[in-house]
C-alpha cells in the first residue's frame, strides 16, 4: 500500500508507518509542498492509495466521490509527535483495512 503523509504531519509518522510495512512518502518528498488540498488529492489519486493527514476539515472541504484514494485523518490535540505517537498503531491498523474512496478517523482530540 502506498501512503502519502500530508505536510502537516511530522516525519516521525512516516517512520512509524514504514516500520509497520507501509510504503510511505511525505508530501515534501513527492515535491508537492504548498499544494492546495484539491490539487494534492488529485495528484495523490494517481499514485497513492491513502493520504494520512491531521487536517480534520479536509473531509468536508474535498469530495472523494469518484476518487480511488482513501483519507486517514488522525485526531490529536496537536500535530506534535508527543500527541500523535499514541495513535501510530491505530493508524497502522486502519491502513490494513481502509477501502478506496473512504474516510477513516483514528484518535481523539482529548
Per-residue pLDDT of the chain (110 residues; tens, 9 = 90+): 999 999 989 999 999 999 999 999 999 999 999 998 888 888 999 999 999 999 877 666 666 777 889 999 999 999 899 999 999 999 999 999 999 988 999 998 65
In the prediction, which pLDDT does 27 show? 96
DSSP 90-108: HHHHHHHH--TT-EEEEE-
* CATH assignment at residue 56: 3.40.50
- Which residues form the domain of 102? 2-107
> For the purposes of burial, counting CB atoms within 10 Å of the CB of 59, is it exposed (0-12), middle (13-18) or buried (19 or more)?
middle
Q: Among residues 100, 106, 90, 107, which one has the least CA distance to residue 45?
A: 100
Task: State pTM to two decimals.
Answer: 0.90
The total of structural domains in the chain comes to 1
In the prediction, which pLDDT does 60 show? 63
d(Cα 72, Cα 99) in Å, to the nearest integer? Answer: 10
In the prediction, which pLDDT does 62 show? 66
Place of cell 485526531: 75
Amino acid at each position: 500500500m502506498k501512503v502519502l503523509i500530508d505536510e502537516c504531519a511530522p516525519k516521525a509518522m512516516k517512520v512509524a508507518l514504514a516500520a509497520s510495512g507501509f510504503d510511505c512518502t511525505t508530501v515534501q518528498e513527492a515535491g508537492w509542498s504548498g499544494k492546495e488540498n484539491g490539487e494534492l488529492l488529485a495528484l495523490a489519486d494517481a499514485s497513492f492509495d491513502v493520504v494520512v493527514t491531521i487536517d480534520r476539515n479536509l473531509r468536508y472541504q474535498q469530495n472523494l466521490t469518484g476518487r480511488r484514494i482513501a483519507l486517514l485523518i488522525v485526531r490529536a490535540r496537536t500535530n506534535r509527535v508527543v500527541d500523535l505517537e499514541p495513535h501510530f498503531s491505530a493508524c497502522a491498523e486502519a491502513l490494513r483495512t481502509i477501502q478506496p474512496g473512504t474516510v477513516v478517523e483514528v484518535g481523539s482530540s482529548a
